[in-house]
């Protein structure tokens, strides 16, 4: 299953509802929602009120990425406002195992994310407990960065581990995903692609159609 997962961090917040509707009309099923606290990452983005307001109007799968320190504190709040999946950073949790259990108990999908410098080995023992691993392919906290080539090997390593253990775990990539890097991450084994400016820069509907076509063509080539 390949999924385009547009990141609303790159949307025009004056027209957010309208732009999400365009995505839905083009068949996009997942929406990536970056929550930043100004502590774990330097930037501050948005929180529960924004998610709650767009949840009322959207049936999309809300892929909520918590770039916050000690995310365990907020899990139930994000579930209550409409998250379908919650991804926490391995580096941000005092007790990652307990945090993952809390997300499961809350009844939503669970993801774990690693920054570019964090080795796969730090989370490999937990692959059987999560639905998704998010590999950050830029430093978290800012949009518009260039894809870090050294992350390709981490995606490959993860895919090999997941396949070896015959697990049903998605690999999501976030950072610098565009025309020049999509095929690289797909060949490495990623299947969910977070894209910001590639989707929201210009004509959104046209961009989505182009990206979906690219995903289809690349998958035909590599499978």
Q: How is residue 125 written in tokens?
A: 């023992």
Residue in 12, 34, 84, 203 annotated catalytic? 34
Residue 197, marked binder: yes
> CA 66, CA 70: separation in Å to the nearest integer?
10
H or E element, residue 19: helix 16-25
Residue 125, marked binder: no
Residue 32, marked binder: yes
Identify each DSSP E strand in the chain by its residue range: 3-6, 30-36, 61-67, 85-89, 109-114, 132-136, 170-174, 192-195
Residue 47, marked binder: no
Residue in 105, 174, 203, 220 annotated catalytic? 174
- Cβ(33)–Cβ(20) under 8 Å? no
> CA 191, CA 135: separation in Å to the nearest integer?
11
Is 174 an active-site residue? yes
Residue 13, marked binder: no
User: How would you classify residue 211: left for phi > 0, otherwise alpha for psi between -120 and 50, otherwise beta?
Assistant: alpha
Residue 210, marked binder: no
Residue 82, marked binder: no
Residue 175, marked binder: yes
Residue 34, marked binder: yes
Is 34 an active-site residue? yes
Using CA atoms, how far residue 54 sits from 17, 101, 103, 129, in Å, is 7, 27, 21, 29
Residue 27, marked binder: no
Tokens 């950072």 correspond to 175
Residue 113, marked binder: no
> CA 91, CA 113: separation in Å to the nearest integer?
8
Residue 58, marked binder: no
Residues of the binding site: 7, 32, 34, 65, 141-144, 174-176, 196-197
List active site positions: 34, 174
Residues of the binding site for substrate: 7, 65, 141-144, 174-176, 196-197
Residues of the binding site for a divalent metal cation: 32, 34, 65, 174
């Amino acid at each position: 299953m390949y999924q385009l997962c547009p990141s609303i961090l790159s949307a025009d917040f004056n027209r957010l509802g309208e732009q999400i509707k365009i995505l839905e009309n083009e068949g996009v099923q997942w929406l990536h929602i970056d929550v930043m606290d100004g502590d774990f990452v330097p930037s501050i983005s948005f929180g529960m009120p924004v998610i709650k307001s767009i949840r009322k109007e959207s049936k999309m799968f809300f892929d909520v990425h918590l770039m916050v320190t000690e995310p365990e504190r907020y899990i139930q709040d994000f579930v209550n406002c409409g998250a379908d999946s919650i991804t926490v950073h391995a580096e941000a949790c005092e007790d990652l195992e307990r945090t993952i259990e809390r997300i499961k108990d809350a009844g939503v999908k669970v993801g774990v994310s690693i920054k570019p410098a964090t080795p796969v080995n730090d989370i490999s023992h937990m692959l059987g407990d999560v639905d998704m691993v998010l590999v950050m392919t830029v430093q978290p906290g800012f949009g518009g960065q260039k894809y870090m080539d050294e992350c390709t090997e981490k995606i490959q390593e993860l895919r090999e581990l997941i396949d070896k253990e015959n697990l049903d775990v998605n690999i999501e990539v976030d950072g610098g995903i565009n025309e020049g890097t999509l095929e690289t991450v797909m060949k490495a084994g990623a299947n969910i692609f977070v894209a910001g400016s590639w989707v929201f820069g210009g004509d959104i509907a046209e961009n989505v159609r182009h990206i979906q076509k690219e995903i289809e063509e690349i998958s035909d080539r590599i499978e």
